[in-house]
Structure formats: structure tokens, C-alpha cells
Amino acid sequence: MASKQLRTYTREEVAKHNKEDDLWIIIDAKVYDLTRFVGMHPGGIAALTDEDIAGQDATDQFFALHRFEVLLKPQYQRLVIGNIEGEEAALHPPSIGDISKVPYAEPTWLTEGYHSPYYTENHRELQRAVRKFTDEYLIPDAQAREEDGKRPDQKVFDKMAELELHAMRLGPGKHLQGRTLMGGIVKPEEFDYFHELVAMQEMVRCGARGYGDGLLGGKVIGLPPVLNFGSEELKARVVPDVLAAKKFICLAISEAHAGSDVMGLQTTAVKSEDGQEWIINGSKKWITNGTFADYFTVGCKTEDGFTVILVERGPGVETRQIKTSYSTTAGTAFITFDNVRAPVGNTLGEEGGGIFVMLSNFNHERWVMCCASARAQRGIVEECLKWTSQRKAFGKPLNSLATVRAKLAAMIQRAESVQNWLENITYQMCNMSYKQQASKLAGQIALLKSYSTSCAQETARDAVQLFGGRGITKTGMGRLIEHYHRTIPFDALLGGAEDVLSDLGVRQALRSMPHDARL
């Protein structure tokens, strides 16, 4: 199809088209003919026929009320008839892969002119590739799935598998051997926790909390026990299909009676008469990806304590969706096990040693959540900086008010402190064995997670305040703020509730108090 011929106009020519039946406006040096659209304008006809709008430059008024993405929609692009003579567009929407120029919208290491001791050129290369992938594949699917509540598109899972993003999200380790990571950008033996942090923080930019968990959050927490404690036979059978996103896995520990108090779980596993199988009975609650999982990493009460068993979907396993305040794309499930049989070979770790398996999983899970939380709050800082510059009240931008700037300051301080502490802990992880991490970092990670999620909740509250009514409106200017504010409590609960983790962090510190320390 031939593209439309655009003409140039003078501002005087545009000004003549200022009636409801002949209405043009200028936005950012482009001329829009709104004559056929005026009756369909969601904001009403009067907003467009106003004498400050009809035939005039309405750039400021447009951006005070609309996001850039509105202008980019094909139905509105079709209304463009030309450009203003001698003028160029001054505003540019972000393109795929762009780094934001808004202050604090990117971590320091990605901001021009700043430095970091932690990131190499290889981390930067990975960042560029994952950003492009996120912009191209994740963001459009995230927005669509948040709307229809279905799990992420299999094409997205397949693309992630091709790039080995499923494997990279499990951190450094043997599972990366022989894989081509992100088209060969990172060598498996060189992949470290900063690579994982980069991949995680880039993907979080899709700005959809439920979708983020739908993107195989269950695998991130459910597969490590198989990798670390499964038999070679079990790993060979399960891991390749899960990392290829042909099969799905989840971690099923929590129950209606046992959330923070893991020791209270009541699902039982007893051996069959011939000793070859476990027979499992009980239920699990709020299990991420459970609705579509093929495998369940299940915490069970057994004769001599707790045991973790890999259960495969089959007779006696039932999953049903739990509707929470984030979208059903996460596949949050209530699961019942009714005389479900699993081979004894599916035991993960020692029989009776399940608590060790479950606890050893927590550090990485919580650290991943810190990566996500730090990046998500930074996204809110960017939204607020843009909004308070665009939005005028009493004739001035919101950011001309000292109270507004004070809120922005607090948001920036929180986002920066969380990221900086996270990077420090990540550096420790890169230089410690798994065992050292378990003894030296469990407390630090717990404290960081509870700090990060409490910062995030304060930022969510401040952001709603800055956006006013739009901060609680699902569509339009404040849509990301509404989403963030609605879903932020999840981070403060999952992987250990905020209060529980603060307490854990201090208890760990107290264990290391020197006996001879006195004031």
C-alpha cells in the first residue's frame, strides 16, 4: 500500500481549521486532522473545540493528559496530515533497546558519565541484548496477557528457551554447561550473579507484576531443588524439558495452615507397601504457575521429619486458580493431592532432610526478588519524574512545588539505596561458595528484601499521591502506578513476609555477636 503523502503547513494555515466540522491541531510540529475523530474523542467534543486547542498547538495540553503511546497507535497516526513548515518534532518516544535519559531512570552503571566497579563490558553486552528482547517480545505480550489473564504466550517461552534465558535465571552453575547463552554473548563458565541480575532487572521492565511471575517464576524457585538435590536420572528426565519450556514446574510448600511457619505443613507422604513409591495427601495454597505446572516440588511431612518430593501431574493431582489482586497470568493455584503416587527416586535430598532443602532454596529466591523490587521501584521514579514535569496545576508544573520535590527525593533515595546494597550483596555472592553464602548472606539478603519491599510500598504510596486520581485509575497516564500500587504488597509477602525477614536478619546478626563485645 502506498504511504500517505504528507504536506507542510504554516501555523496560520492550521489556525483556520478551528471548527467542529473542520478541526486540525498541532502536536509536536505534526498536523493532525481531527475532523472525523472529534465526535469519538473519549474526552468529549468540547475539549477539542476549545479555542486554545482547535487550530492551535496543543502539545502541552495533549501530554498533560495522555501517554506517548496514545499518539503511536495506528488509528491516531492515520490522522497525521503533515508537518509545520521549518519545524522538526522535538519529542521522541523511546525506541527498542533505548536507555532512558531521565535522571535515575537507569541504575548508575547504565547512566552516561557514571562508573561502577561491578559491571564488565560483557554484562553491558548482555544488558543491551536483554533490553531489546524485553522491548520487542515481553512488553507487548505482558500488556496483552495482563488484559486476558492467560499465561504468557508459548512463543515467548520458546524464544526465551532459544536464548537460554530460562537457564540463566537459575544463576551460575553446571546447568549452563554446553548452552549458548543469549546467542553466545556470555560463555557459560563466565556467567556470574551480575549477569543474572542484569537479565532479571531488564525483564522486570515489562512493568506487569502478575505476568512477571507467569514468566516461569515457579521454575526459578521450583527447579533448584531438583538441580541441587535430585538424582542424575531425575535431572536428566526433568531439567532439559523445563529449561526448554516444554514442561513447567512449581514450588509447592505453603499451605493454608503453613505459610511463614513452614514447619507447620501438613501434607503427608507415606511409603507404599513395596517401598517403591510415595503416597501423597494434602493441599497447597498460592502456588505460582501451579495451574499449568507439569511438575510440583512438594514439601511433605514424612515419618522422620520433612521430605521434598518431585510430584508429576497425574491421577489425584488437582489444581485450580486462586484469584488474587494481580492477574491470573501468574497461574496462582490451590492444589490438592489425593493419594498421589510418586516414585521414591523422585525424592529431593535426604528422606527427613526436607527442611535443609527448603531453607537452602530461600537465599537465591529472595535475592531474585530483591533484583526485581529494586528495578521496579526505579521504573516508578521515572514515571513520577516525567509526570511531575508534564502535569501543570495552578499554572505551574507539579515539580515546582517543594512538597512534590521532597517526595521525589525520598523515592530516588530509596531506589538508589536498594540498588547499591543489592550490588554489594551480589558482589559477595560472586566471591563466596554456596556454603559461605548460606552462612554469611542469609541474614543480609533477608534484611535487604524486607528493606526493599518496605521502600517499595512507601514509593507506591507516594506515587499514587503524585498522580492523584490517575494513580488509582487502571488506564491512561497513571496506569503503571495503579498497577504497581495494587500489586506491591505481593513482594512484601512472597518468599518470606517483611516482618519475618527483618526478624531473621537481626537474629542472624545476633548469632555472630562477639562474646567479648561490651559498650
Residue in 99, 156, 168 with CA at minimum distance from that of residue 131: 99
Q: What gap in Å lies between CA 292 and CA 328, rounded to an integer? A: 11
Spell out the residues 6+ positions from residue 389 whose beta carbon is closer than 8 angstroms to its own: 397, 398, 399
Taking CB under 6 A as the criterion, the residue among 134, 254, 419, 453 binding ligand FAD is: 254
252 sits near ligand FAD (criterion: CB under 6 A): yes
Asked if 480 and 207 count as a contact pair (C-beta separation under 8 A), the reply is: yes
Q: What gap in Å lies between CA 200 and CA 191, rounded to an integer? A: 14
Residue with cell 500500500: 1
Could you tell me the smallest distance in angstroms from the CB atom of residue 88 to ligand FAD?
48
50 sits near ligand FAD (criterion: CB under 6 A): no
192 versus 255: smaller Cβ distance to ligand FAD: 255
355 sits near ligand FAD (criterion: CB under 6 A): no
259 versus 343: smaller Cβ distance to ligand FAD: 259
Tell me the per-residue interface mask from 165 to 204 with ligand FAD, x by CB under 6 A, - otherwise: ----------------------------------------
Residue with cell 503416587: 341
Taking CB under 6 A as the criterion, the residue among 201, 288, 327, 388 binding ligand FAD is: 288
Taking CB under 6 A as the criterion, the residue among 359, 475, 499, 509 binding ligand FAD is: 499
* DSSP at 152: P
Taking CB under 6 A as the criterion, the residue among 58, 490, 491, 508 binding ligand FAD is: 490
Spell out the residues 6+ positions from residue 314 whose beta carbon is closer than 8 angstroms to its own: 340, 341
* DSSP at 290: G
Tell me the per-residue interface mask from 210 to 249 with ligand FAD, x by CB under 6 A, - otherwise: --------x-------------------------------
Q: Which of these ranges, 59-67, 99-107, 284-292, 411-419, lies near ligand FAD under the rule CB under 6 A? A: 284-292
The grid cell for 338 is: 489425593
Spell out the residues 6+ positions from residue 7 whose beta carbon is closer than 8 angstroms to its own: 81, 82, 83
Query: Going by DSSP bridges, is the β-strand pair 18-19/22-27 parallel, antiparallel, or unpaired?
Result: antiparallel
Which residue's CB atom is positioned nearest to ligand FAD?
259
Write the DSSP string, 267-278. Answer: -EEEE-TTSSEE
329 sits near ligand FAD (criterion: CB under 6 A): no
Could you tell me the smallest distance in angstroms from the CB atom of residue 241 to ligand FAD?
20
Q: What gap in Å lies between CA 32 and CA 55, rounded to an integer? A: 10
Could you tell me the smallest distance in angstroms from the CB atom of residue 217 to ligand FAD?
7
Spell 377-390 as b/e; 16+ CB within 10 A means b.
Answer: bbbbbbbbbbbbeb
- # residues contacting ligand FAD (CB under 6 A): 21
The grid cell for 378 is: 526505579
104 versus 326: smaller Cβ distance to ligand FAD: 326
Residues 83-142 touching ligand FAD, rule: CB under 6 A, are none
412 versus 494: smaller Cβ distance to ligand FAD: 494
Q: Which of these ranges, 49-57, 82-90, 93-101, 257-265, lies near ligand FAD under the rule CB under 6 A? A: 257-265
Could you tell me the smallest distance in angstroms from the CB atom of residue 257 to ligand FAD?
8
281 sits near ligand FAD (criterion: CB under 6 A): no
3-state class (DSSP) for residue 50: coil
3-state class (DSSP) for residue 19: strand
Which amino acid makes up residue 360? S
Could you tell me the smallest distance in angstroms from the CB atom of residue 318 to ligand FAD?
17
Kindly report the CA angle at 279 between 241 and 289, in degrees rounded to 5? Answer: 40
The grid cell for 357 is: 532443602
Q: What gap in Å lies between CA 505 and CA 496, rounded to an integer? A: 12
250 sits near ligand FAD (criterion: CB under 6 A): yes
Distances from the Cα of 203 to the Cαs of 127, 407, 425, in angstroms?
10, 27, 20
Taking CB under 6 A as the criterion, the residue among 287, 317, 398, 445 binding ligand FAD is: 287
Could you tell me the smallest distance in angstroms from the CB atom of residue 325 to ligand FAD?
9
Q: Which of these ranges, 53-61, 256-264, 275-283, 472-480, lies near ligand FAD under the rule CB under 6 A? A: 256-264
294 sits near ligand FAD (criterion: CB under 6 A): no
Binding site for ligand FAD (CB under 6 A): 218, 250-254, 259-261, 286-288, 324, 332, 490, 493-494, 497, 499-500, 503
